[in-house]
Chain A
Amino acid sequence: MIRLVRRERASRKLAVAAPLLALFAAILSNLILFVAMGKDPAAVFYALLLEPFLTWSGFSEVLLKTGPLLLIAQGLAIGFRAKVFNIGAEGQFILGAIFASAIPVYFLQATGGWIWPAMLVMGGVGGALWAVVPAFWRVRLNANEILVTLMMSLIAVQLLNYLLLGPWKDPMGFNFPQSVMFQYDAMIPILLPGTRVNVSLLLALVAAFIAWIYMQRSFGGYQLLVGGLAPEAATYAGFSQSRAIWLSLLIGGFAAGLAGAAEVAGPIGQLQRSISTGYGYAAIIVAYLGGLHPVGIVASSLLMAALYIGGDNAMVSADLPVAAVRVFQGSLLVCYLAAITFVRYRLVRTKGATS
């Protein structure tokens, strides 16, 4: 019989190795799945994992997707470490996009360098406002924030639909559910010439650095950590649990809203229904895969972005169904959760036990 035994202290080595082990296990299990589906595994994995890194244009698309994932995941990770589980980043992302779009939608003729920064701020505020609702109910009525944030995301999608089918529909848009195309000044400047990568990637990296300072060095971050690891100790020390809930949700909402704004003011350039592509959910995986550590998240967001691009490639070149990428993401998370168990626990073989 084999038993799990708690280690005396967490294994540092395994903490670093766990995401790599998980990636390996996920690749292996999906390989079997693809073979069972009758696909050529070599072609799938070439398209999925290698191709995104082989050409400059492909890699620049990876960087483009890294931005929002990095931004959202950093915000979520702060809350997750305080054990405040914001699962509704998708909704906060959508609200960020809506708030940001309000400026070009209502002031399409406006010009000036202030517009795109103002849109980013609006987006952050919108995302944070959407997170006010779960935070308020959690603090007031102890309503589970997992459920409330998740439900708020469904409402956000309907709000987006309403705006695009109603008041914000582009009158010249042939009745498509999308807003007007934004003016030039509403677009975030390009960072790498010849690609679609814009300054928001830089913003995401700055956010990662701020998150690192906050969580690893500041007393504020320390209070959140204590609240997550030992709530009784936080109460004993006098760290407010309500404050931790508010901060966690507002930071997560702000970051997700910022990402949403950067999406409409960046590669898309208008408000569409397709802005919601599941970044908010993928970022949960990114946050955990990065060990909830700001540096780890930089690496895991790059990996997840590559999987998005690789998944698109694989659909075209290896005839993979749309769901395959989601399955791969999901199995990655499951493998990771299994792998991190061994950071705290080890397997012990017990001889001949019967009971």
Chain B
Amino acid sequence: MPAPLLSLRKMTKTYGQTVANSAIDLDVAPGSIHAILGENGAGKSTLMKLIYGVERPDAGEVLWNGAPIHLSSPAEARRLGIGMVFQHFSLFETLTVVENISLVVPGSKTDLATRIRALGQDFGLLVDPFAHVHALSVGERQRVEIIRCLLTEPRLLILDEPTSVLPPQAVGLLFDTLRRLRDGGVSILFISHKLDEIRALCDRATILRGGRVTGDVDPREHDAHDLARMMIGRDMPAPLHLDPMPPGELRLELMGLNHASDDPFGIGLAEVSLRLHAGEILGIAGISGNGQSELSRLISGETVLPHGRRDEIRMLDKPVGHLGPAARRAIGFAFVPEERLGRGAVPDMSLADNSLLTAHPLGLLKRGLIDRQAEASFTAACIADFDVRTTGPDAEAGSLSGGNLQKFIMGREISLHPRLLFVAQPTWGVDIGAATAIRQRLVQMRNAGVAVLVISEELEELFEICDRIQVLHKGALSPSLDPRSTRPEEIGRWMIGAAGVAA
């Protein structure tokens, strides 16, 4: 093996009580694509922040071309030749591509535009330098981020979960680009939790679990099962089983729903229609930012329609478009929003007080006063039933991990015994074990005759649990697709709005 480009020795970082990284060793060879594989909370992001100089390690050593270095800022890392593309883009929507890039890279705009085009040719990163960023697709924005990094001529490029925002087709293009970059002599650190991608792309994989290295392997020599065991410490959970169900009564109907977004760069909804029956799970696929949050607010009642348009949303045979969230819950609706802290739960309040938020009609009040005992016992039951890891009902919601808080909110909403359950991004940031538990719960609800609506970016998840899938793209909803007879690529075409057009 050639001398490593980057070596980490015994890197350790703690935040308060939590050890995010514990004595991590890592060697990245020149000209390789190296995966960092791990669940949420395994310490991947912390490790990247240490390498990119965003955070400083408590202990350990970084070697760059064999020489020890001490990074104190991202600027220093960039000077050495380390570039990073974050999961969340940092581009100004109102500026053009070349304007965004010229904020970071010196040079005249015409000169930069030529270099952007040249890079695009060389590495398959085609993007119009003079397009405004708000008009670009997510895949194109990611290309802009990568180009911005490449213009500083890095030796090592770090990509944080780059595929989580992409439709399946764009993933293939990205991989092609990354391979070309590797062949051009750039090493790549590729962070992911998706086993198939890593096996398809990477030369080497370092696997993290609980802040420690649990494996350092060639991913092509191991099957997904082995990698998963190293990543989660046990076998992959068994796949779920959807019982065949006779179609039930209509529980939710949207009829030609139009809505203009308040946000000038937001996506309005155009003629959105869907029908959801008892005993089925309908999945809304699509890349975030295509109208998902607008749609979920309309269904939950956080956005209310004028009285005259109340018939555009019908729940359990009643027009509800004009009703607020509380009135919709009163007829059997429950909702788990995508933002857990600050929307699904109040961070500064205890779990017990967070139970009250939506579960107050379940006997938690006595003549307008809070029944502390009932509140505590409801919360304790919720914690026990849904395996929420916490110190108890008095713990502040903000102190729970994302996955545990999600389990708590799911538990609270399911305890309302809804007839129509709506869950947005059920497993965002949730570890595999908890994600499986949540999906199993959703399937159980369906099998018990509840109508379940799920919005998710994770196509695998939707294929696993849904009876039908519809795709949201630029505020319009595709026809209903059957996951048993539809290939993921076809869904992917709807996700980028290319369905119907010859691909």
Contact = CB atoms under 8 A, between A and B. Distances in A.
Interface in A54-112: none
- Most chain B CB within 10 A, of A9, A217, A237, A239, is at A237
Interface stretch (A22-30, A181-189, A222-230, A280-288): A222-230
B325 A236 contact: yes
A240 B302 CA distance: 10
Interface in B394-428: 396, 399
Contacts of A222: 353, 356, 370
Interface stretch (B249-257, B340-348, B381-389): B340-348
A8 B368 contact: no
A220 B368 CA distance: 7
A230 B396 CA distance: 14
Contact of A240 (B324, B342, B346): B324
A9 B370 contact: no
Contacts of B345: 230, 233
Interface string B1-40: 0000000000000001100000000000000000000000
- Most chain A CB within 10 A, of B56, B339, B357, is at B357
B131 interface: no
A236 B327 contact: no
Dominant secondary structure of chain A at its interface with chain B: helix
B329 to A, nearest CB: 7
A237 B301 CA distance: 10
Given A219-B370, A230-B347, A237 B358 contact: yes
A237 B302 CA distance: 9
Interface residues of A, number: 24
A235 B325 contact: yes
Interface string B300-330: 1110000000000000000000001111110
Contacts of B344: 233, 236
A10 interface: yes
A225 B329 CA distance: 21
A323 interface: no
B177 interface: no
Contacts of B335: 236
A238 interface: yes
Contacts of B326: 237-239
A236 B302 CA distance: 6
A232 B346 CA distance: 9
Contact of A219 (B346, B369, B399): B369
Interface string A254-280: 000000000000000000000000000
A239 B324 CA distance: 9
Contact of A236 (B16, B337, B369): B337
Contacts of A237: 325-326, 357-358
Contacts of A353: 56, 72
Nearest to A232: B343
Contacts of A219: 356, 360, 365, 368-370
Contacts of B356: 219, 222
Interface string A5-22: 000111000000000000
A118 to B, nearest CB: 29
Nearest to B16: A8
A220 B369 CA distance: 8
Interface of A: 8-10, 213, 217-220, 222, 225-226, 229-230, 232-233, 235-240, 353-355
Given A232-B339, A233-B357, A239-B326, 10 more contacts: A219-B368, A232-B342, A233-B343, A233-B344, A236-B325, A236-B337, A236-B344, A237-B358, A238-B328, A353-B56
Interface of B: 16-17, 56, 72-73, 300-302, 324-329, 335, 337, 339, 342-349, 353, 356-358, 360, 365, 368-370, 396, 399
- In the A-B complex, the 9 residue pairs with the smallest Cβ-Cβ separation, listed nearest first, are A238-B326, A238-B325, A232-B343, A230-B346, A355-B73, A237-B357, A230-B342, A233-B346, A217-B369
29 contacts: A8-B17, A8-B399, A9-B396, A10-B396, A213-B369, A217-B369, A217-B370, A218-B370, A219-B365, A219-B369, A220-B368, A225-B349, A229-B346, A229-B349, A230-B346, A230-B348, A232-B343, A233-B343, A233-B346, A236-B335, A236-B337, A236-B343, A237-B325, A238-B325, A238-B329, A239-B326, A240-B324, A353-B56, A353-B72
